[in-house]
Structure 1
Amino acid sequence: MTHPVTIKSTAQITHNVDRLTVERPDGYEFTPGHATDVHVDKPGWEDEDRPFTFTGLTDAPDLEFTIKIYPSHDGVTEQIDRLEAGDRLVLDDPWGTIDYKGKGTFIAAGAGVTPFIAILRDLNAKDQIGGHRLIFTNKSEKDIILKEEWDAMEGLETLYTLTDQPESPHAIGRIDRTFLSQHVADFDQHFYICGPEAFVGDIKSALLDLGAKEDRIVFEDGMDG
């Protein structure tokens, strides 16, 4: 089923990430971590869609999306970057592979953090954020999505690592087996992974090699960072 909606507000939250707030269709429910396919309601774009994750709270009156913009792709995200309040989108029904299973570590690359936004906000709203950890890799500090919000969540442990900013006080380098062996003490916990397909595959393999249990690894790939 499709759901035409009106955009209520837009905002730029990093140099290449937008936040869209849209009206919520009656009875439209989603699970934190899940997504929907989004169509831009403009002539010539009706048959083009992309998956975007819900990033607001499940009981909020409106729906929220946090979307990385790729202007060089001449595609859906470039069109979304041009939208304003009053413009229209069409949403499909919700779907998803990222479900919260229990306390653990969230490992994200770039825009791969988006499925975790609603989950961590939901846990924080319920005063259940304590004991969770976010390991988040980006090219530079300016690319870190919602850093101030993560840092303000009392009880959430954060570890940022950057690949292209060696002068940063944060950890430097990619997340790989060596990095995980140095920064994760307990592999008998839940792990949540999201990012580009190769990143997810590499991290999953590294975690299994280090002793993580396959049934405690939740992942979604294809989220380009």
Structure 2
Amino acid sequence: MPINRYRIISIEKTAEDVKIFRMEPIDGRLLSYKPGQFAFIHLLDSEGRTTLKRPYSIASAPHAPYLEFCIKIINGAMTSQLEKLDQGATVGIEGPAGHFFYGDQRNVGLVASGTGVAPMIGILRDIAEKKLEGNFILFYSTKTLDSMVYQHEFENIQKINPNIKIVITLTREQPVGWKGELGRINQEMITKHVIDPKNMDWWMCGQMEMIKAMKAILVELCIDLKRVKMEGWG
């Protein structure tokens, strides 16, 4: 696939060790993609040659005039270099790629942990923008309130499209006045918020430990795994 040059237009630190990068194409031709897909970010040398590349889920929705990536900054070869980039820096973008995308299904269950919420926010933004009818729910597991990304956007998305429901669960703290869920996502939590999980298409993204646990739960709920898309790491 060809590599297109993009300019970083904003960098936002949104949670512990997480940054949101927004970028626009230098030639004005924005990548065409489906919600949930990923692209490769290329770090470029002074002559425009690739020095490093890694795949990252696209967090923006196709109607946005920019690409957005939600990236956890860890002590790795790629993210340690991304952390040094400033607004105005140029990177290469290759893509899109991946079969983990949304195709206007109307009964949708999304499950994410940590920055696995990146493709999910792109899917929800698309559903909200189109004001689709149906039943859409996101189960989002995060350690603490400080580690949560897109916290302020969740409420707005649900206002734009009331068919969207977002369930947040905290695994390592119980703040005073917290009205959300606590602990890891489990079968009881799903059946509490979803009337008929067998009649939904499911997407899961996050650490492989979570993916394996959720797959077992969906099997227990008699959900056809042909209706489940999974994307994990670690």
Give 5+ residue unaligned stretches, structure 1. Answer: none
Structure 1 segment 126-165 matched on structure 2, within 5 A = 126-128=130-132, 131-153=135-157, 154=159, 155=162, 156-165=164-173
Q: Read off the aligned partner of 1:201 and give its amino acid letter.
A: K
Aligned-pair Cα RMSD in Å:
2.1
Query: Are the counterparts in 2 of residues 110 and 137 from structure 1 also a CA contact under 8 Å?
Result: yes
1:184–1:59 Cα change, 3 Å:
closer
Larger mean Cα displacement after TM superposition, 177-186 or 106-115:
177-186
Match of 1:69 among 73, 94, 100: 73
The letter for the 2-side match of 1:5 is Y
- 1:14 is matched with 15
Matches of 1:83 and 1:165 in 2, distance apart?
33
Do 2:19 and 2:71's aligned partners in 1 also have CA atoms closer than 8 Å?
A: yes
Q: Residue 14 of structure 2 aligns to which amino acid in structure 1?
A: I
Give the CA deviation at 1:75: 2.3
Q: Calculate the TM-score normalised by the size of structure 2.
A: 0.85
- Give me the whole-angstrom Cα distance separating, in 1, the residues matched to 2:193 and 2:45: 47
- 1:141-182: per-residue Cα shift (whole Å, max 9, x none)? 111111221122221212111111034523211113444344
Letter of the aligned partner of 2:169 in structure 1?
T
1:198 equivalent among 209, 214, 229:
209
2:129 to 125, 130, 133: 125
Give the 3 Å change call, closer, same or farther, for CA 129–163 of structure 1 in structure 2: farther
Structure with a larger share of its residues in strand = 2
Separation in structure 2 between the aligned mates of residue 199 and residue 218 of structure 1, nearest angstrom: 14
Alignment match of 1:171 (pick from 153, 160, 181): 181
Task: Tell me, yes or no, if the aligned pair for 1:187 and 1:212 is still in contact at 8 Å.
Answer: yes
Residue 196 of structure 1: how far off its partner (Å): 0.9
Greater shift after overlay, 135-144 or 79-88? 79-88
CA contact (8 A) 1:120 1:129 kept: no
1:41 maps to 2:44: yes
Aligned length: 220
Q: Could you tell me how far apart the structure 2 residues matched to 1:209 and 1:48 are?
A: 42
Aligned to 2:229: 218
Structure-2 change in CA distance of 1:63 and 1:220 (3 Å) = same
How many angstroms does 1:33 deviate by? 0.5
Deviation digits for residues 86-135 of structure 1 (CA, Å, limit 9, x no counterpart): 21211112102212241211110111111111111011011127621111
| 8 Å Cα contact 1:97-1:219 kept in structure 2 | no
Give the Cα–Cα distance (whole angstroms) in 2 for the partners of residues 15 and 193 of structure 1. 22
